[in-house]
Structure 1
C-alpha cells in the first residue's frame, strides 16, 4: 500500500512539491505561534509573589535636590500617613517599583558567575505592603542600616544564577562599594507584568534619594479618601506635587503591552493558516477531480468507498509527512542552539502542538474531497472520461 502511494506521489512530484512546501510554511507558522503561546501561558500561570489589590503608587515631588531635606520630608510624610485609619501599611521605594515604566540594572557577581540584576530600594515595611513571603532567610530591618555591607533580598532566579546549589544566605556579592550580603530569598517576584519569566532582582534598604511610595489601603476605601490623602500630603510642603495611581491599573497597562501584540500576531497567523487551508482544500479538490478515471477503474475492480476515501487521505498524509520532516529539521535548531535563551521544553511543546495541528488541518482539508471521490460511481466516472 505504502509503495503504491509513493509511486503515485512521485508521478505528480511537481504539484506535490508545492503542496509540501505550503505545508512546511504552515508548520513553521504553527510552531512559532504555539511556542510563543506556550511560553507566555507558562509564565502567566506562575504566581506573581505579590498582592497588587488595594495598593496605591504615590509619586511625590518634594521640589528639592537636597538629600537632607528629602529625609526630613519623608519623615513628615510617614507621620502624616499614620494618622489615616484607611491605610494599613506603606513604604517608600525607588521609582522602579512593580509595574512601573522605570528600571535600574546593575551587574553583580559571585566568584566567576555574573548576572545583570534589577535593583530596587525600599523600606523594611515593603513586604507588608505587597504581602510578599520569603522562601529562605529574613527581610532586612532598620537595625541593618548600621552595617557597612548592605543586606539584600534576592529572587531565587538570581540565587541560582550566582550560587547554583550553594547556600546563598550570608554570602557577599558584588565588589568594593557595591558589595551586598544576601539575607533573604524570594521564590516568586514578577515586577514587570504577568507574562514575565523568572528574573534576577535584588531589593536593598532604602537609599537617600527615593520619594515614591507604595500604600496598602483597607478594602472598600473610596475615591474621597484618595483625594483626602493626596491633599494632606500636598499641604505638608511648599510647591509639593502628588500623583496617585492604582497598582492594579499599572499592572493592566504593562500586561496590555504584552498581550495586544500577541493577539495581533495570533489574528494574522490565523488568517494565514486559514488561507493555507483554503489553498490546500482547492488543490486537493482539483487533484481528485482530475483522477476520476483512476477512481472509476478502482471502483470497477471492487474497491470500496472507504478504501477510496482512506487512500486519498493517506496520500495526503504522506505528503504532509515530508513537509513536517523538513519543518522539524529547522524547528529543532531552536532548542539545540538555545535561540532567545528560552527553555528547550517550550520549543519541544511548540513542535508537538504544531505537528498535531498540521495533521488535523491537512486531514480536515482532505476529508471532504476524498469523501466526494469515494462516492463516484464507476460507470459515471468512466463515461465522463
Structure 2
C-alpha cells in the first residue's frame, strides 16, 4: 500500500515540490507559534515564589544624590507613619518591586575555587518575605540577629544551591559577592534556601537568584521601593490617603503607588503581546498557505482525471479514489514534515534557544504542529478528493 502511494508521488515529484514547500513553510510557522505557546504554558505553571494578593508597591523617588543615600531616621519615620494607618498590616523595603521590569544582575564566587556564578539579586528588609508570603525549603530567613555580623546574610534559591553546592547542603556556606581578590568583595553567609523567585512574573524563565538582607541601620544605599501588606478588601480609594500620608513625611519626594495585582495584570498583557502578534501573523499566513494548497491540489487532481478514469474502468470504487487522494496528501505532508523535523531537532540538540526549546517543550510542540498540518492538509484535500471520486469512468476517459 505504501509503495502504491509513493510511486505516483515520485512520478509527479516536480509538480509536488511546490506543494511540499508550502506544507514545509506552514509547518515551520505553526511550530514557531506552538513552541512559544507551550513554553509560555510551561513557565506559567512553574512556582512563582511569592504572592501578590493584597500587596501594594510604593516607589519613593527623591531628588538629588543625597536622597539616594540611606537615612536611618527617614526610613524609620516612613515605617512608623505608614504602620499607623489601619489599612496597612506590614511594610518592608526593597531595592526594586516585583513586576516592575527591573533586574539586578551580579556574580558570586566560591571562596576556595573562585568559580563564578551569574545570578539575579534582590535586597529587602527583614519583613520582606512576610509581605510577599515567601516560603523556605530549608534554613531560616535573615532577621535582626544578623545585624552587625561581618558576613552578610543571604538566602538563595534551589537552582543556585544545586549549582554551587551539588550533593550537599547550602546552609551555612560562605560565598563572595564580587571577585574575592577585589577590594569591594563582600562575604555572604547562606541562611536559607527557597524554591524560586521570578520577580518579572509568570512568564519569566527561572534563574539563579539570591536575596540579600538590607539593614536600614547600616546599609549605605536607600531602598527606593516600599511594599505594603494591606488588609483584604482595601479599595483603590486608599491610594489618595496613602499619598497624603507620604507627603506629610517627605513633601519634596514624588510617589508612584500601585497594587501588585494591577502590576501583574499589566505585565501579563505586556508579555503576551508578542505571542498575540505572532498568532495573528501566523493565522494570515496559514490562510494563504491553505488557499494555495487547495488550489494546487485541485489542479493536480484535474490533471489526473484520465488516470482516475482508468482506475474506475478497471474496477476501483469511488471510495477507493477518495481514499487514494487523501492518503497521498497525508503521505506528502508526512514527508515534508519529516524534512522539517531534521532541521528543527537541532534546536534542543545544540541548545541555541536555551531552555525555551527544552525537550518536553520541543516534543509537545512537534506533536501539536504535526496534528495542525495534518488537519489543514485533510481539509484542503476533502473537496478535490470528493470531486475526483464523483467522476464516472466514461466522463473521465473522454476528458481532454
Taking structure 1 as the reference length, the TM-score comes to 0.94
| Alignment partner, residue 385 of structure 2 | 370
Answer with 200-209 or 84-93: which moved more: 200-209
Partner of residue 346, structure 1 = 361
SS of the aligned residue for 1:100 comes to coil
State whether structure 2 residue 51 is matched by structure 1 residue 39: no
* 1:3 Cα offset (Å): 2.4
**What CA deviation, in whole Å up to 9, does each residue of 1:61-99 have, x standing for no partner?**
3546167772110011111122111111110111x2211
Give the corresponding residue for 1:311.
324
SS at match of 1:92: strand
Distance of 1:68 and 1:2 partners within structure 2: 77
Contact map agreement 1:76 1:236 (CA 8 A) in 2: yes
Q: Distance in 2 between matches of 1:66 and 1:244?
A: 19
Judged with a 3 Å threshold, the aligned counterparts in structure 2 of structure 1 residues 137 and 304 are, in CA distance, closer, same or farther, namely same
**Cα distance, 1:279 vs structure 2:** 0.9
**1:81–1:381: structure 2 CA closer, same or farther, 3 Å change rule?**
same
Confirm whether residue 93 of structure 1 aligns to residue 94 of structure 2: yes
Alignment check: 8 A CA contact 1:49 1:187 kept: yes
Q: Where do 1:106-145 residues align within 5 Å?
A: 106-110=106-110, 111=113, 113-145=115-147
Cα contact 2:47–2:195 (8 A) shared by 1: no
2:84 aligns with 83
Gaps of 5+ in 2: none
SS at match of 1:379: helix
Against the structure 1 CA distance between its residues 324 and 63, is the aligned structure 2 distance closer, same or farther, given a 3 Å change threshold? Answer: closer
1:319 CA displacement: 1.7
Question: What pairs up with 1:153-192 in 2 under 5 angstroms?
Answer: 153-174=155-176, 175-176=179-180, 177-192=185-200
Structure 2 distance, partners of 1:333, 1:48, is 30
Q: CA offsets, 1:162-190, max 9 Å, x none?
A: 22332111111225433212111121322
Cα distance, 1:127 vs structure 2: 1.2
Residue matched to 1:202: 210
Q: Indicate the larger mover: 124-133 or 96-105.
A: 96-105
Structure 1 residues 212 and 223 mapped into 2: Cα distance closer, same or farther (>3 Å)? same
Count residues with an aligned counterpart.
384
| Aligned partner of residue 339 in structure 1, secondary structure | coil
Name the CA distance, whole Å, in 1 between partners of 2:316 and 2:258.
Answer: 73
Instruction: Describe the shift of the 1:133–1:292 C-alpha distance in structure 2 as closer, same or farther (beyond 3 A).
Output: same
Per-residue deviation at 1:302?
Answer: 1.1
Provide the residue aligned with 2:103 in structure 1.
Answer: 103
2:160 and 2:209 in contact (8 A); partners too: yes
* Map of 1:230 onto structure 2: 243
What corresponds to 2:26 in structure 1? 26
Q: Please show how residues 189-338 of structure 1 align to structure 2 within 5 Å.
A: 189-206=197-214, 207-209=219-221, 210-237=223-250, 239-338=252-351
SS of alignment partner, residue 59 of structure 1 = strand
Contact 1:120 1:202 in 2 (8 A): yes
**2:383 matches 1:361:** no
**Bigger mean CA offset, 85-94 vs 193-202:** 193-202
Q: Check conservation: 1:86, 1:221, Cα contact below 8 A.
A: yes
Q: Which whole-Å CA distance do the structure 2 matches of 1:296 and 1:29 have between them?
A: 38
Q: Deviations over 1:271-296 (max 9, x none)?
A: 11121111111111111112111111
Q: Write the deviation string for residues 5-61 of structure 1: whole angstroms up to 9, x where unpaired.
A: 222112211111111122112212222111111111100122322111221111223
Residue 198 and residue 87 in structure 1: after superposition, are their counterparts in 2 closer, same or farther (change >3 A)? Answer: same
Q: TM-score if structure 2 supplies the norm length? A: 0.91
1:60 is matched with: 60
C-alpha displacement of 1:223: 3.6
Quote the Cα distance in structure 1 between the aligned partners of 2:305 and 2:319.
16
Supply the RMSD in Å over aligned alpha carbons.
1.9
The question of whether the paired residues in 1 share the 8 Å contact of 2:70 and 2:220 is answered with: no
Distance in 1 separating the partners of 2:235 and 2:330: 62
1:93-143: per-residue Cα shift (whole Å, max 9, x none)?
Answer: 11x221113221101133465332111111110011111111121100011
